[in-house]
């Protein structure tokens, strides 16, 4: 692993409305690495991603990129460093796909300028990178859920950041599109990107992540290589269900025990 490093160092965060809190959370992500966040609904995964993005400010505000405090950076500089692919992608966006992907160039364009020819080339290349160029002239609202998710990843790619944060990138996708998204994530890491993603499926973390954090009630209860920490004991304790470990061809899969 190498390249840039995103670091979160023993931070806390409290929602004053609900009292839910994150407690002494530390996390690091480097270029060429995939890190996964897992845990039940309400465990703090999305809150932690928002801290990593600089959307929420923890106490103390110890979130840094290569030693520079994230909260001392301008919004534009942060957007040049970290791209975000949300779980819920708005459908009714009145833009053609090529213009939607071109939005990823916003941090690189002066507020008083329009996209350059180079910006348009980068956006088109992002579509080509993921085999989406055939959608360039279609309206974003006409795409399927899987297509919108892939185009959103292309927009993040066009942003040309060292880090990409994805919140449940395979949610609501069919089997084919899930496999495509996971494959794309692995390819991005080969190019040196650092990927942080949340998931409810431990098998996804086992399949593609280098490191995983299991969260529960605002705390990290286990961390390490997913093949090691995502075992029967930790899954059953955190999720409160019985599971089976299925081993085949030298690989392990986790499935709920229904009988």
Query: What pLDDT does 166 receive?
Result: 96
Q: Is residue 147 part of a domain?
A: yes
Say whether both 94 and 214 belong to one domain: no
What CA–CA distance (Å, rounded) separates 168 from 87? Answer: 5
Q: pLDDT tens digits, residue range 128-171?
A: 988 999 999 999 999 988 889 899 999 999 999 999 999 999 88
pLDDT at residue 217 greater than cutoff 80: yes
pLDDT tier at 2 (50, 70, 90 boundaries)? low
Mean predicted confidence (pLDDT) in 200-220: 95
Q: pLDDT tens digits, residue range 59-88?
A: 999 999 988 999 999 999 999 999 999 887
Query: What pLDDT does 259 receive?
Result: 66
Q: Is residue 251 part of a domain?
A: no
Dig out the tokens for 52 from the structure: 């990593």
pLDDT at residue 183 greater than cutoff 60: yes
Least confident span in 96-105, 209-218, 226-235, 241-250: 241-250
Q: What mean pLDDT value characterizes the chain?
A: 92
Q: Is residue 153 part of a domain?
A: yes
Tally of CA atoms within 13 A in the half-sphere of 67 that contains its CB: 1
Say whether both 62 and 94 belong to one domain: no
Nearest CA-CA partner of 30 in 60, 64, 58, 54: 64
pLDDT at residue 256 greater than cutoff 90: no
CATH of residue 220: 3.40.50.300
Q: Is residue 237 part of a domain?
A: no
Q: pLDDT tens digits, residue range 31-61?
A: 999 999 999 999 999 999 999 999 999 999 9
Mean predicted confidence (pLDDT) in 82-99: 87
Say whether both 178 and 70 belong to one domain: yes
Number of domains comprising the chain: 2
Say whether both 156 and 168 belong to one domain: no
Say whether both 72 and 177 belong to one domain: yes
Q: pLDDT tens digits, residue range 135-145?
A: 999 999 999 88
Q: What is the pTM of this model?
A: 0.91
Q: Is residue 254 part of a domain?
A: no
Q: Is residue 248 part of a domain?
A: no
Q: Is residue 240 part of a domain?
A: no
Query: What pLDDT does 1 receive?
Result: 45
Say whether both 49 and 99 belong to one domain: no
Query: What pLDDT does 60 receive?
Result: 95
pLDDT at residue 205 greater than cutoff 60: yes
Q: Is residue 258 part of a domain?
A: no
Quote the domain boundaries for residue 126. 88-160
DSSP string for residues in 3-32: EEEEEEEEEEEE-TTT--EEEEEEEEEEET
Say whether both 70 and 175 belong to one domain: yes
């Amino acid at each position: 692993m190498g390249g840039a490093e995103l670091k979160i160092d023993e931070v806390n965060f409290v929602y004053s409305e609900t009292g839910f809190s994150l407690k002494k959370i530390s996390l690091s992500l480097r270029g060429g690495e995939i890190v996964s966040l897992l845990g039940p609904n309400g465990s703090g995964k999305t809150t932690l991603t928002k801290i990593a993005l600089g959307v929420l400010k923890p106490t103390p505000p110890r979130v840094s990129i290569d030693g520079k405090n994230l909260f001392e950076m301008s919004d534009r500089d942060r957007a040049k460093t970290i791209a975000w692919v949300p779980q819920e992608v708005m459908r009714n966006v009145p833009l053609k796909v090529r213009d939607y992907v071109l939005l990823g160039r916003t941090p690189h364009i002066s507020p008083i300028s329009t996209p350059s020819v180079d910006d348009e080339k980068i956006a088109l290349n992002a579509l080509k990178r993921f085999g989406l160029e055939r959608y360039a002239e279609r309206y974003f609202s006409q795409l399927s859920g899987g297509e919108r998710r892939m185009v959103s990843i292309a927009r993040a790619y066009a942003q040309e950041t060292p880090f990409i944060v994805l919140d449940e990138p395979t949610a609501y996708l069919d089997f084919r599109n899930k496999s495509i998204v996971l494959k794309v994530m692995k390819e991005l890491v080969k190019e040196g990107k650092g990927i942080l993603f949340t998931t409810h499926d431990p098998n996804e973390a086992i399949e593609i992540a280098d490191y995983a954090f299991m969260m529960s009630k605002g705390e990290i209860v286990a961390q390490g290589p997913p093949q090691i920490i995502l075992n029967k004991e930790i899954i059953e304790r955190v999720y409160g269900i019985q599971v089976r470990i299925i081993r085949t061809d030298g690989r392990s899969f986790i499935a709920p025990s229904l009988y």
